[in-house]
């Protein structure tokens, strides 16, 4: 199976530097559309839209980008406990129909208790996974029940006659993606989802997760696909890439890092704790494994690691993850517009990806015409 490479729509903000207003950009529809169109025309398979109170709403943004793109898929979150299964089914079916089968579902249980309570969900970690398990049973049942409807009575959720009058394009339903590092998360993923996602941990840790998930899924007679969420800092040389990594955190002060880490420590997310453990809130030991840099996680919650290096090095590190069983890479870089082009131009040729010809239908010339007359030639170096 060829690699799936996704990009990221930064609905929580974008900048040239982390943790500061220096180099910051306004997030508006036109900028987000630029990134989506860039990802579509460069040949990325899809985009992830984040969710939470720090973000513009993922469903509204993704819906607004359907008409601006042709092939791009949208990985959009459903939040069990914050929406009912029936509402989530109708939203998913409508989006999938209007986009002609370009929806992917990201199941997010949430790990920030304060944020969840502000949204009206008062449930601890274990209860949230119970809710998610019941939510997904209903979600599936409503999509496959036909005219007779689907009944379910659970500990937290109950429905009678749930069904879908306007079914999605993708059968039996848009694929379910999910990430989580706790025991409850692994059990839920093994039984219920299609693609298990991990944040960018060192290869040995990812290998252990994949082995565990495969064994759990086998108990249910199932197999899973696997994906990884990473940032990327790729430049033409390794030295330039590491300089860019240092520049990314060059304007954030230690007080901001300490405040961010204190906030992350309050979360009950096992995955967040694993991310924070890679750097311990300190700048001095940020290379968690060769070319895997944990500097992003000093101030950013969730995915906090980046692959850093020249194109050949980054491609080689991706191959290491691919050999473990990863077939989907969900990537991002600061700022997201320029880095979407940079990664595609430098790394896509090395991993078998290419410009989306169904979008462009162009064969050249490529590059600026030389002296108003000559078509640029390929470099000999």
For residue 51, pLDDT beyond 80:
yes
Residue 268 lies in a domain: yes
The closest of 80, 312, 87, 75 to 176, measured between CA atoms, is 75
Q: Which residues pair with 71 in a beta bridge?
A: none
pLDDT of 360 reads 54
pLDDT of 361 reads 58
Q: Look at 367 and 217; give whichever has higher pLDDT.
A: 217
DSSP string over 342-377: HHHHHHHHHHT----HHHH------SPPBTTTBPP-
Q: Which domain holds residue 315?
A: 4-78+175-360
**Among 82-96, 203-217, 267-281, 325-339, which stretch is predicted with the lowest mean pLDDT?**
267-281
pLDDT of 268 reads 75
For residue 366, pLDDT beyond 80:
no
For residue 355, pLDDT beyond 80:
no
Residue 67 lies in a domain: yes
The total number of structural domains that make up the chain: 1
Band of residue 109 on the pLDDT scale cut at 50, 70, 90: confident
**Among 72-86, 131-145, 272-286, 308-322, which stretch is predicted with the lowest mean pLDDT?**
272-286
Neighbours of 262 (CB within 10 A): 10
pLDDT of 144 reads 84
pLDDT of 203 reads 96
CA–CA–CA angle 246, 249, 252 (5° rounding): 145
Residue 164 lies in a domain: no
Contact yes or no for 278/289 (Cβ under 8 A) = no
| Average pLDDT score over residue span 210-229 | 97
C-alpha to C-alpha distance for 301 and 324, rounded to whole angstroms: 25
Residue 137 lies in a domain: no
Band of residue 116 on the pLDDT scale cut at 50, 70, 90: confident
pLDDT of 336 reads 97
Residue 376 lies in a domain: no
Sign of torsion over alpha carbons 145, 149, 155, 156? positive
Residue 105 lies in a domain: no
Residue 102 lies in a domain: no
Strands (E), the chain: 4-8, 14-15, 24-25, 46-48, 73-78, 103-107, 150-153, 158-162, 176-179, 195-199, 225-234, 287-289, 292-293, 306-309, 326-332
| Average pLDDT score over residue span 176-197 | 93
Contact yes or no for 48/75 (Cβ under 8 A) = yes
Residue 142 lies in a domain: no
pLDDT of 374 reads 72
- CA Rg value for the chain: 21
Contact yes or no for 304/322 (Cβ under 8 A) = no
- Could you report the per-residue pLDDT of 263-318, keeping only the tens digit for each? 888 877 787 888 888 888 888 889 999 999 999 999 888 889 999 999 999 999 99
SS3 content of the chain, % helix, strand, coil (to 5): 40, 20, 40
pLDDT of 362 reads 59
Band of residue 119 on the pLDDT scale cut at 50, 70, 90: confident
Percentage of residues in the chain having pLDDT higher than 90? 71
| Average pLDDT score over residue span 183-209 | 95
Give the CATH number, domain containing residue 200: 3.20.20.30
């Amino acid at each position: 199976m060829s690699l799936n490479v996704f990009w990221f729509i930064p609905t929580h903000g974008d900048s040239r530097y982390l943790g500061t207003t220096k180099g910051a950009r306004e997030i508006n529809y036109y900028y987000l559309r630029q990134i989506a169109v860039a990802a579509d025309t460069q040949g990325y398979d899809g985009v992830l839209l984040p969710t939470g109170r720090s973000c513009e709403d993922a469903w509204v943004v993704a819906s607004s980008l359907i008409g601006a793109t042709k092939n791009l898929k949208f990985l959009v979150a459903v939040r069990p406990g914050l929406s009912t299964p029936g509402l989530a089914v109708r939203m998913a079916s409508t989006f999938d129909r209007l986009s002609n089968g370009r929806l992917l579902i990201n199941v997010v249980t949430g790990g920030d208790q304060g944020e969840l309570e502000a949204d009206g969900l008062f449930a601890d970690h274990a209860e949230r996974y119970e809710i998610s398990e019941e939510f997904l049973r209903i979600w599936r049942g409503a999509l496959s029940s036909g005219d007779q409807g689907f009944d379910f009575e659970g500990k937290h959720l109950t429905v009678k006659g749930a069904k879908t009058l306007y079914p999605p394009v993708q059968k039996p339903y848009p694929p379910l993606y999910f990430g989580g590092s706790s025991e409850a998360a692994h059990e839920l993923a093994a039984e219920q989802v299609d693609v298990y996602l991990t944040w960018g941990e060192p290869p040995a840790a990812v290998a252990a997760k994949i082995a565990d998930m495969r064994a759990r899924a086998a108990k249910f007679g199932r197999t899973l696909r696997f994906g990884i969420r990473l940032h990327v800092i790729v430049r033409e040389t390794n030295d330039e890439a590491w300089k860019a990594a240092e520049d990314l955190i060059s304007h954030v002060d230690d007080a901001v890092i300490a405040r961010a880490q204190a906030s992350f420590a309050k979360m009950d997310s096992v995955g967040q704790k694993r991310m924070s453990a890679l750097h311990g809130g300190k700048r001095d030991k940020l290379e968690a494994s060769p070319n895997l840099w944990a500097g992003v996680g000093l101030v950013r919650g969730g995915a906090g690691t980046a692959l850093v290096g020249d194109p050949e090095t980054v491609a080689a590190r991706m191959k290491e993850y691919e050999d473990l069983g990863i077939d989907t890479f969900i990537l991002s870089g600061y700022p997201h517009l320029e880095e979407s082009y940079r990664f595609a131009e430098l790394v896509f040729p090395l991993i078998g990806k290419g410009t989306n010809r169904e979008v462009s239908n162009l064969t050249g010339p490529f590059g600026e015409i030389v002296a108003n007359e000559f078509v640029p030639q390929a470099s000999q170096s």
